[in-house]
Amino acid sequence: GQNIDQPTEMTATEGAIVQINCTYQTSGFNGLFWYQQHAGEAPTFLSYNVLDGLEEKGRFSSFLSRSKGYSYLLLKELQMKDSASYLCAVRDQNNAGNMLTFGGGTRLMVKP
Amino acid sequence: DVKVTQSSRYLVKRTGEKVFLECVQDMDHENMFWYRQDPGLGLRLIYFSYDVKMKEKGDIPEGYSVSREKKERFSLILESASTNQTSMYLCASSISRGGLQETQYFGPGTRLLVL
């Protein structure tokens, strides 16, 4: 089975940087995804990591350490529209059907 | 762009009713998924399907069934709705034969209230 933990809520200021952590325990690891979900809307794909290190995509970056079972999503130059929930999801190595296990999500509030 | 649509955004049903939630994707994806999303619990997988007429139980299949008669359509059925099935239901699809980073694409969700 898998266990995925992330903070429930975070608050940050417009223009600042925020880091959202995700820790996981899995019997086999085959990739970690981050999704963004605005209230009342569908989750949308942000990033994917399968090897250790940092993946950068504009204002968003995602980091993975497989040995530590740890990932973070880094958001720079925060904007009000970044207020949303951020979901961490892990794919199991033994998973033939592209199934994901999701964490509970982190609700980020960006304040002026 | 991948498009996943769900038949209703909001639905109100009574306890004991049979409820059908429909999901359609237009990208010829092999895999389709049904989740429910509840505050504090995140997304939990109910059922998934990796091919027409194939279905596999997820983490919380009790009280639900599914149907996949055509590749583009995946239906979630609540045989006898109960109040604890009040939730947001999200459908997703993904390609099977692509690279490792193939993500799941989500529909807009159906918010179901069972009275």
Say whether B101 and A48 touch across the interface (CB within 8 A): yes
Q: Average pLDDT in the B59-75 region?
A: 96
Local confidence pLDDT in tens for the 112 residues of chain A:
568 999 999 999 999 999 999 999 987 888 999 999 999 889 999 999 999 999 998 999 999 999 999 999 999 999 999 999 999 999 876 665 668 889 999 999 999 9
pLDDT at B96: 73
State the Cα–Cα distance between residues B15 and B36, nearest whole angstrom. Answer: 18
The answer to whether A31 faces chain B, any CB pair under 8 Å, is yes
pLDDT at B100: 61
Say whether A98 and B42 touch across the interface (CB within 8 A): no
Across the interface, of B42, B48, B109, the residue whose CB is closest to A87 is B42
CA atoms within 13 A on the CB side of A98: 23
pLDDT at A32: 94
CA distance to partner chain A, nearest, from residue B51 (Å): 10
Model confidence pLDDT, tens digit, residues B75-86: 999 999 999 999
A·B CB contacts under 8 A: 56
Residue B95 has pLDDT above 90, yes or no: no
Residue B101 has pLDDT above 70, yes or no: no
The answer to whether A41 faces chain B, any CB pair under 8 Å, is yes
pLDDT at A27: 79
Which residues, 6 or more positions from A67, have their beta carbon under 8 angstroms from its beta carbon?
A52
pLDDT at B40: 79
pLDDT at A2: 67
Say whether B31 and A8 touch across the interface (CB within 8 A): no
Q: Please, are residues B34 and B22 in contact by the beta-carbon 8 Å criterion?
A: no
Q: Please, are residues B73 and B23 in contact by the beta-carbon 8 Å criterion?
A: yes
State the Cα–Cα distance between residues B48 and B7, nearest whole angstrom. Answer: 18
CA atoms within 13 A on the CB side of B55: 19
Q: Which residues of A touch B48 (CB under 8 A)?
A: 97, 99
Strand partners, B44: B36
- CB atoms closer than 10 angstroms to residue B44: 15
Q: Please, are residues B73 and B27 in contact by the beta-carbon 8 Å criterion?
A: no
Model confidence pLDDT, tens digit, residues B6-64: 999 999 999 999 999 999 999 899 999 999 999 878 899 999 998 898 999 999 999 99
The answer to whether B108 faces chain A, any CB pair under 8 Å, is yes
Nearest residue of chain B to residue A36 (CA atoms): B106
